[in-house]
Structure 1
Amino acid sequence: MKRKKCFFGLKVDRQVDGDRMNKGVMAKILAEGGNAAAISACMQCGTCSGGCTNIDRMDLSPRKLILMLQRGDWETVLKSNTLWLCSSCYICTSRCPRGVRPSDVIEAAKAIAIAEGIENDATRFHNIFVDLVQKRGILFEPELMQRYGGLKAMVEQAPLGIQLVLKGKLSPLPESVKNPAQFHDALEKHKRTRTHNPDLS
């Protein structure tokens, strides 16, 4: 396998499966707004990962995610929790010397993962969170914990929850926005807008 030296003598795999990348992965990324040419130009310097604020919780660093795309490993990218943990702070994008725009690539891959129904712990948490917020307009944290972590998580976190309630940091009962009807009308309008213009989030 051909290898090429990078900065500080580091060796990185530069062999790219062009056929898979162009016909499969890159076609989907490009359709969602990613830049296939820039992904191909990534030199794996790691600048993106060095500035990432959430990298300690990601299973794929931004650098490695781009590498997986270069190799055509679409399945690994779609199942990665990186898609859901990226906060879109754009530090990686602003610092990239090759203009890869990892933030946009991750957002594009996330949109495809949603469309294809990919599920893991990160997507399950996301779906529960969104469902609870859409129901009342205000998140009720104990219900989120119960649905995501189950009874065991509720028992383990009970002492902390009691302290938060006593200090007024956590409501013991679920709350709702002042005008639920107006809130739900706004949600429906947003859904209709996204249906006609998928580029809006």
Structure 2
Amino acid sequence: MVSTGLQAALFFSTFFLLVLPYASTAAAAASSSTTLENECERYAAGDKGSNDYCLWKLRRDNGSATADARGLAAIAAMMARSTAKATRERIIAGMTTIQSANETTTVSPTAAARRDCLAACAAEYAAAVRRLGHAARDAAGGGGGAAGLRRAQTLLAVVAGTPARCDATFAAAGQSSPLAGADFGLDDEVELAMALLPSPPLTD
């Protein structure tokens, strides 16, 4: 017969063998989520809506669960890139419509002006897509240490305001803007990426 003491020892040994892996997994999950939550709290600076936006936006990418601050900034930059790319594609579709009409009829001065505005905005957004791709790479660490952080900061700052510049192009020509409210989400995503990006050290 197994003694009571030995039974208890066997029970606790089995218990810890079964529970320890789950405890380790839970601890790792809690640790990995802390960076995301802490960075979003820092970004929000006490504003619940901003904190909710940050968490909602970044959690759409599964990589955010284990990313560090640079990784989170890179994720936000890539989300901004996707937004800019989608807007550019819609602008190009508008240009294609005008060009197709030009094949059958003479384009009016108004249509020609709109086509030129669309072309200018398409170029603006093409540049934004390229810059955001480079910014994401630099933010993630692919472009070096402090130098990469500084490049990412510069690229994100240049992209900020892209929707407003596109709007201004149409306003100057007396045209209505093709941009919808969702397109201005680009600025929010760029702002998020800039806020999450760690400040580079004074020296490399």
TM-score with structure 2 setting the length: 0.25
Greater share of residues in helix: 2
| Structure index of larger Rg | 2
More RCO (CA 8 Å, sep 6+): 2
